[in-house]
Structure 1
């Protein structure tokens, strides 16, 4: 259902049957991985105006893998990682698909 680069790859899907009989397929909730942060590949210091997709493309080779940086920095909201300059981000080693 999801590409191998998606944060939802491997997440179980299920169905909800509505009162009118329609079925809706959905992915189960995804939680941040438990335990220690990902293996650090490098670190990145955010500069003014940087976007997470550009940082991710530079370090992981694919802007859609931004979620791996979110997981490594225990961030549920991607925008909070680049809200201001000076934040040091953990950049994990690339995972699968690269």
Structure 2
């Protein structure tokens, strides 16, 4: 369901029974491990995370790595950060 380099690849799943009795499978929220950072970047007004991820990590789909490095669960949570920690691209 997820690509091998996705933050959700090894997160696991569980089942939830909804009020109407139907059962759905839910992906667990992955544990994040900030790891080593290589510096900080001052985010410009309206600057998108995928652009920053490409600039520093050479992969626009790695915006989740920016979230992990900054202790943010989602890109929306990282939007409030003016300074963004940049993770080691080799992680």
The TM-score range, normalised by the shorter chain, is: 0.7 to 0.9
- Please name the residue that 1:51 is paired with: 48
Aligned 1:7-18 pairs, distance under 5 A: 7-16=7-16
Q: TM-score, normalised by structure 1?
A: 0.68
- Please name the residue that 1:88 is paired with: 83
SS at match of 1:25: strand
Q: TM-score, normalised by structure 2?
A: 0.72
Contact 1:46–1:82 (8 Å) recurs in 2: no
**Which ranges of structure 1 fall in alignment gaps of 5 or more residues?**
none
Following TM superposition, by how much is the alpha carbon of 1:24 offset from its aligned partner in structure 2, in angstroms?
Answer: 3.4
SS at match of 2:11: coil
Higher relative contact order (CA 8 A, sep 6+): 1
Count residues with an aligned counterpart: 90
**Which ranges of structure 2 fall in alignment gaps of 5 or more residues?**
none
Contact 1:6–1:64 (8 Å) recurs in 2: no
SS at match of 1:11: coil
Contact 2:13–2:25 (8 Å) recurs in 1: yes
